[in-house]
Amino acid sequence: MNFWNFIISHLDEIWSQTVEHLVLTMASMTLATLVGVAVGIGLTRAEKLSNPVLGFVGIIQTIPSLALLGFLLPIFGIGVTPAIIALFLYGLLPIVRNTYTGIREVDPAVKDASMGMGMTNFQLLRYVELPLAFPVILAGIRTATVINVGVATLCALIAAGGLGEFIFRGITLNNQQMILAGAIPASILAVALDTGIGFIQRKPTSLRTWLLLGTSSLLILIGFLSSGSVTKSKLIAGFNSEFIEREDGYMGLDSLYDLPIEIKEMEISLMYRALHNGDVDVIDGFSTDGRIKEFNLKSLIDDKKYFPPYYAAPIVNALVLERHPEIVTALNLIADKLNDERMAELNYLVDGKKMELSAVASTFLKEINIYADADAGSSDEPDVVIGSKAFTENFLLAHIFAQVIENKTSLKTKLELGFGGTKLIFDALRLGEIDIYPEYTGTGYLVLLQKSAKDVSDFTNPDVIYNDVKKEFAERHNLHWLNPLGFNNTFAIMMRTNQADSLKISSVSDLSDYLKSK
């Protein structure tokens, strides 16, 4: 599909994202202008405060935009509100500073003559200082607007919409056209706003025209926001960008179950809290995430077996097995010892209770009568190197592997934790940089073998997939899948337990029925 086809087929979405983007920028800029100009004027009347206040808004500006969004999340949750607040804070500095400087730089003779005429403080502001500082103030608004069009793309990460949705989806899926579909309109928007304000700057208009313009844009904005807050469906879903766009994500789910639901796009790591806070009602989580327990969430049963199985198992380089065959016996001791719920609890001990990974690993092993040393995995001359991907569950499993091996064999192990991606850790294993890591059958099948649902008889049968990857990995890569650990960390559609219970929803089909009912 070429770029133009992509644009044309996504025109509706590009348009609605552009409008969202414009609304985010304009709402925050209207606020920032009102507050910034007021603060700037205040500073000219209380000179002593000018240094501390300008310093303070300057510091806000230096906070990385993502971090600022992060700070606001616990207070304002996700969505348009924290996004507008963050953009508002970003817009403040140029406006406050330019208002202050602009007013201070009004010709003292003009002020003197005006005061000599008998102007009150307010008349001086209205007839002299504001009109004369106007071009400088407008230049500040202009700078802030252009900055904010850029920063507003980040707001897609907290479900505030805007052109960032395309950009981040494009990055996740490595789709250049999609990135451009977000980036180009954002650039056009920035240039257009910049030119527009520049035009006003050169063509002085009366204060009344400005007030009129300001109020009308505010009214349009309020109108837009209030119409936007009337939700079209009964429940709101928060899905991450990859899930929305992938054919084996929401699209396939919708065509199998029929789920007419309004979707907000958001970062994976934010979804659980968003669901917990009631910002959304349905998310696509992972079935063993620790936050399911922490936030009292419920995974809906995938009664039509849509999601592929993601059973975790150690995969091992064949060369190591030749040298140290006892590894297999050791790791088989933990085979089938975990289920979804238990794994979620262990994850919760780390994420929620902030316990050490090694301590949680040995706690688990103790339950199955393996009294391992929590310090395992730190040898300088290791016989076996154990890797992991960069998330809690994978960290934990790597620790468990190390402790079992050191306890049940005489081998020394070393942990290499936190590989940034599936492809990276897989290559490390093939090249012998690491010897073992925990992998999931679904990932092995879809991502590493690049096979699709149609390539096997029963895609949703865990044993079929496990046997397929086991066979193919051994043949193609000389890598061995050991016995699965017993839990399935697959995608799961989740809701708040109390809401799901009160609506009598326990499976995805129930959810579909509820959404379709009047």
Question: Which stretches of the chain bind another protein, using CB under 8 A?
Answer: 107, 109-120, 123, 127-128, 131-132, 204
Least distance to another protein, CB of residue 116, Å:
3
Give the separation between CA 50 and CA 342, rounded to whole angstroms: 57
- Which residue, 123 or 409, has its beta carbon nearer to another protein? 123
Least distance to another protein, CB of residue 134, Å:
8
- Which residue, 117 or 390, has its beta carbon nearer to another protein? 117
Least distance to another protein, CB of residue 103, Å:
14
Least distance to another protein, CB of residue 107, Å:
8
The percent of the chain in helix, strand and coil, each rounded to the nearest 5, is 65, 10, 25
Q: Check residue 54 and report its DSSP letter.
A: H
- Sheet containing 436-440: give its strands across: 413-419, 384-389, 436-440, 312-317, 479-481
Q: Which positions ≥6 away from 281 have C-beta within 8 Å?
A: 235, 236, 237, 275, 495, 496, 499
- Which residue, 124 or 500, has its beta carbon nearer to another protein? 124
- Which residue, 55 or 108, has its beta carbon nearer to another protein? 108
Per the rule left: phi > 0, alpha: psi between -120 and 50, beta: everything else, 53 is alpha
- Which residue, 206 or 450, has its beta carbon nearer to another protein? 206
Least distance to another protein, CB of residue 138, Å:
13
Least distance to another protein, CB of residue 97, Å:
22
Give the alpha-carbon dihedral of 251, 256, 260, 265, to 10 degrees: -30
- Which residue, 129 or 393, has its beta carbon nearer to another protein? 129
- Which residue, 55 or 116, has its beta carbon nearer to another protein? 116
Residues forming a β-bridge with 298: 495
Least distance to another protein, CB of residue 127, Å:
6
Short-list 252, 232, 241, CA closest to 159: 241
Q: Which positions ≥6 away from 487 have C-beta within 8 Å?
A: 288, 311, 312, 338, 339, 340, 342, 343
The answer to whether the CB of 269 falls within 8 A of the CB of 471 is no
The answer to whether the CB of 340 falls within 8 A of the CB of 288 is yes
Least distance to another protein, CB of residue 204, Å:
7
Least distance to another protein, CB of residue 269, Å:
52
Angle between helices 80-104 and 47-62 (to 10 degrees): 140
- Which residue, 81 or 123, has its beta carbon nearer to another protein? 123
- Which residue, 130 or 154, has its beta carbon nearer to another protein? 130
The answer to whether the CB of 31 falls within 8 A of the CB of 144 is no
Q: Check residue 309 and report its DSSP letter.
A: P
Residue 417: helix, strand or coil by DSSP?
strand
Please report which helix (H) or strand (E) contains residue 438, including its range.
strand 436-440
